[in-house]
C-alpha cells in the first residue's frame, strides 16, 4: 500500500476498495470520510451533516462496498438522491469505487429514462440501487418486494428531498425496506423535519458534522461556456482557435475521451498528447517533459493522470467535462496560475450541469462568469491574425533564395506572382476555411440558452428538477433552471383534482397558462396526489387570478383552485 493511501488502509476498508482508491488517485481521506467511514464500518446508523463538495459520497460508498457480498445477485444497497443529476453522479462514483469488484453492478433509477433498461438491470441482480424517490415508487408499484433484501440505506441530501416534496414517497419506501438494516442520512442542514425522520427510521445514530470551508483560487481567471454534450469536440476546437495560450491541459472523465479528443486535435495540427491511467510511468514522464520544453502544447488528461502535474508553461486549463466534485475542480484549475503567474480556467457546462456549477461556485466562494461561445466570425478573425503574425517577420526579412525561386517558378509555371501567391496560400491553409459559412460548416455548434440570473433560492442551493416522466401518484412539475424565481413570492393553492381523476401535472399547467394568462416561469411546483393537487402561484394578484380560473375545467371537472391553508 502506498503512503498516500495508508490512511485509507487504516480505516478498515476491504482490499478491492483500497485498490480502487489507489487507481482513482485518492491520496488521503477528507474530514467527513475520516470520521464517517469507521462508524459505518462498525455497523452504526449515522447522521452526517456536510455540504456538497466535502467528499461525502466516498464517505458512505467506500465502507458500504467494503461490507456487501458481491456474490449475492440481489439489491443490497439503496441510495436515495433528490435529483436525477445527483443520482447519476453517485452511481458513477459507486462504479468507480467498485472497479475492482467485477461482480458488483450499479443501477441508477430515475425519471426521464427508459423504464425497461432499469427493470432489466434490477432483474439481473444489481446490488446497488441509486434512485430518485418518485421513480423508485413506480418500481415498487410493479414489484413490492424489490427492496426486501436491502441491508444498507443512504439518504443523500435529505433536506433537498423534503424541499422537493418527496416526504410521501419516502414513507412508502421506508415501508418497503426491511426493519433490520443500517441507515445513513446526509444533509447540509438538520431542520425539525429531518430530525423527525432520523428519530423514526434510524437506530441510535451517531452524529458527524463537518464545517464547510470556502476555497478561493487567486490569479486564475475563471469562466464557463454553456454547451450541448454532443458538441463538445467542436466547441473545444473553436476555443483553441481564439485563445492565446502557451500550454494547455484539458480534463475529461474517461480514458477513451482522452484518446478521442487527442486524435481530433492532432488531425487539426495541434501538438497534443493523452494522459490517462493506462499510460506507463515512463511514457507519462516523456509527455510531461515534452510539455515543459515545448514539443507538446496540449495534454488531454483524466483527473488521476494529472495529479501532481506541475508545468509552469501551462497558461490555460480547459474543463471539457464537469468534475465529479468541487474539490476536483479546484485541483484541476490549480495546474495553472502557479509560481505567481496568472492563468485562465474555462469550464464547459451542459444544461443538465447547471446545478453542479452552482455547487462549485459556492465551494470556491466566487461566481464563474459565463462567456459566449466563440462564433464563426471570431474564429475567422483569429485565423487571419495568426496567419498575419506568421507572415509578417518573413516579409520583413526577405530571403534572397526565395526571391530567386519566385522568379523561377513564375517563369516555369507561366503565371503572375499574385496567382502563385494565391496557390501557396491555398497550400498553407489547406483544410481550413477562411469565410464565416465555411467555419460554421467546419465546426457546427448550436448555442445553448443563456444561463438564468441568480436569485435568493438558487444561492441557497435549492434544486429544481424536471418532472420525472413515469412517476404515478406523486409526480411533480418543477420549473426548469430557466424558471427559477424567489419562492417567497409564491403561495400554495389546492384543487380537489388528483390522479384518481386522471389529472397530470401537465394538465394543470396547461389550464393555468391558457386560462390565467400567466407566463410559464410564474408557476412554481405542481404536486399531484391521489385525491388533490397543490400548485405554487404568484402571491401578487392571486385573487384576480383565481377569479379568472373559477370556471376552468380540467378533464371535464371544475378546477376550483383555492389558497391552501396548512
What is the per-residue pLDDT for 255? 84
Collect the ranges in the chain with pLDDT lower than 70.
1-6, 51-54, 211-218, 281, 304-308, 325, 327, 338-341, 397-400, 431, 449-488, 514, 566
- Model confidence pLDDT, tens digit, residues 483-515: 333 344 788 899 989 888 888 887 788 778 767
Distance CA 47, CA 265 (A): 47
SS3 of residue 49 by DSSP: strand
What is the per-residue pLDDT for 400? 65
Residues 344/221, Cβ–Cβ less than 8 Å: yes
Distance CA 223, CA 350 (A): 14
Spacing of C-alpha 515 from chain mean position:
37
What is the per-residue pLDDT for 478? 38
Q: Which domains does the chain have, with CATH numbers?
A: 6-209 (3.40.50.300), 220-373 (3.40.50.300), 377-442 (no CATH), 456-563 (3.30.70.330)
Sheet holding 490-495, edge to edge: 476-477, 526-528, 533-538, 490-495, 562-563
SS3 letters across 491-554: EEEEECCCHHHCCCHHHHHHHHHHHHCCCHHHCCCEEECCCCEEEEEECCCHHHHHHHCCCCEE
What is the per-residue pLDDT for 397? 65
What is the per-residue pLDDT for 464? 36
DSSP secondary structure letter of residue 253: S
What is the per-residue pLDDT for 101? 94
What is the per-residue pLDDT for 203? 94
Handedness of CA 104, 110, 112, 115 (dihedral sign): positive
Write out the three cell numbers for 87.
443520482
- Model confidence pLDDT, tens digit, residues 72-114: 999 999 999 988 778 888 998 999 999 999 999 999 998 877 8
Look-up of cell digits 494565391? 422
State the pTM of this model: 0.48
Distance CA 526, CA 503 (A): 12
What is the per-residue pLDDT for 307? 61
Residues 107/118, Cβ–Cβ less than 8 Å: yes
Distance CA 202, CA 206 (A): 10
DSSP 91-108: HHHHHHHTTT-TT--EEE
Amino acid at each position: 500500500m502506498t503512503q498516500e493511501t495508508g490512511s485509507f488502509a487504516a480505516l478498515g476498508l476491504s482490499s478491492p476498495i483500497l485498490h480502487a482508491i489507489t487507481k482513482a488517485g485518492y491520496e488521503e481521506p477528507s474530514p467527513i470520510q475520516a470520521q464517517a467511514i469507521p462508524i459505518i464500518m462498525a455497523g452504526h446508523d449515522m447522521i452526517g451533516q456536510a455540504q456538497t463538495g466535502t467528499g461525502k459520497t466516498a464517505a458512505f460508498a467506500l465502507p458500504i462496498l467494503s461490507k456487501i457480498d458481491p456474490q449475492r445477485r440481489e439489491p443490497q444497497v439503496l441510495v436515495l438522491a433528490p435529483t436525477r443529476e445527483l443520482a447519476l453522479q453517485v452511481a458513477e462514483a459507486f462504479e468507480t469505487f467498485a472497479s475492482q469488484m467485477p461482480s458488483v453492478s450499479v443501477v441508477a433509477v430515475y425519471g426521464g429514462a427508459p423504464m425497461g433498461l432499469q427493470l432489466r438491470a434490477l432483474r439481473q441482480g444489481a446490488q446497488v440501487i441509486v434512485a430518485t424517490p418518485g421513480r423508485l415508487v413506480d418500481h415498487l408499484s410493479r414489484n413490492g418486494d424489490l427492496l426486501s433484501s436491502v441491508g444498507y440505506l443512504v439518504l443523500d441530501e435529505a433536506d433537498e428531498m423534503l424541499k422537493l416534496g418527496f416526504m410521501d414517497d419516502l414513507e412508502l419506501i421506508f415501508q418497503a425496506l426491511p426493519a433490520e438494516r443500517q441507515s445513513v442520512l446526509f444533509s447540509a442542514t438538520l431542520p425539525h423535519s429531518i430530525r423527525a425522520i432520523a428519530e423514526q427510521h434510524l437506530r441510535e445514530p451517531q452524529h458527524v458534522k463537518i464545517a464547510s470551508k470556502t476555497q478561493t483560487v487567486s490569479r486564475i481567471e475563471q469562466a464557463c461556456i454553456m454547451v450541448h454534450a454532443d458538441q463538445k469536440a467542436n466547441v473545444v476546437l473553436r476555443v483553441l482557435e481564439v485563445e492565446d495560450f502557451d500550454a494547455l491541459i484539458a480534463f475529461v472523465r474517461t480514458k477513451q475521451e482522452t484518446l478521442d479528443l487527442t486524435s481530433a486535435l492532432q488531425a487539426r495540427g495541434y501538438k497534443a498528447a493523452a494522459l490517462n491511467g493506462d499510460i506507463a510511468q515512463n511514457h507519462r514522464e516523456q509527455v510531461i517533459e515534452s510539455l515543459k520544453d515545448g514539443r507538446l502544447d496540449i495534454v488531454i488528461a483524466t483527473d488521476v493522470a494529472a495529479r501532481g502535474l506541475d508545468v509552469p508553461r501551462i497558461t490555460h486549463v480547459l474543463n471539457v467535462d464537469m468534475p465529479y466534485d468541487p474539490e476536483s475542480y479546484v485541483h484541476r484549475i490549480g495546474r495553472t496560475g502557479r509560481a505567481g503567474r496568472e492563468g485562465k480556467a474555462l469550464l464547459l457546462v451542459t444544461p443538465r450541469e447547471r446545478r453542479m456549477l452552482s455547487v462549485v461556485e459556492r465551494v470556491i466562494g466566487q461566481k464563474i462568469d459565463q462567456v459566449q461561445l466563440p462564433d464563426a466570425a471570431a474564429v475567422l478573425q483569429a485565423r487571419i491574425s495568426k496567419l498575419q503574425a506568421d507572415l509578417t517577420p518573413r516579409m520583413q526579412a526577405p530571403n534572397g533564395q526565395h526571391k530567386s525561386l519566385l522568379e523561377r517558378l513564375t517563369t516555369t509555371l507561366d503565371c503572375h506572382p499574385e496567382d502563385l501567391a494565391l496557390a501557396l496560400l491555398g497550400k498553407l491553409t489547406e483544410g481550413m476555411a477562411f469565410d464565416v459559412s465555411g467555419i460554421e460548416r467546419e465546426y457546427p455548434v448550436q448555442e445553448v440558452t443563456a444561463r438564468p440570473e441568480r436569485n435568493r433560492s438558487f444561492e441557497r442551493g435549492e434544486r429544481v428538477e424536471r418532472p420525472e416522466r413515469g412517476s404515478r401518484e406523486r409526480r411533480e412539475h418543477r420549473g426548469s433552471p430557466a424558471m427559477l424565481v424567489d419562492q417567497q413570492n409564491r403561495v400554495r393553492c389546492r384543487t380537489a383534482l388528483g390522479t384518481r381523476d386522471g389529472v397530470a401535472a401537465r394538465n394543470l399547467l396547461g389550464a393555468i397558462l391558457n386560462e390565467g394568462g400567466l407566463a410559464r416561469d410564474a408557476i412554481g411546483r405542481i404536486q399531484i396526489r391521489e385525491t388533490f393537487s397543490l400548485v405554487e402561484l404568484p402571491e401578487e394578484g392571486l385573487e384576480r387570478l383565481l377569479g379568472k380560473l373559477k370556471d376552468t375545467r380540467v378533464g371535464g371537472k371544475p378546477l376550483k383552485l383555492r389558497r391552501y391553508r396548512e
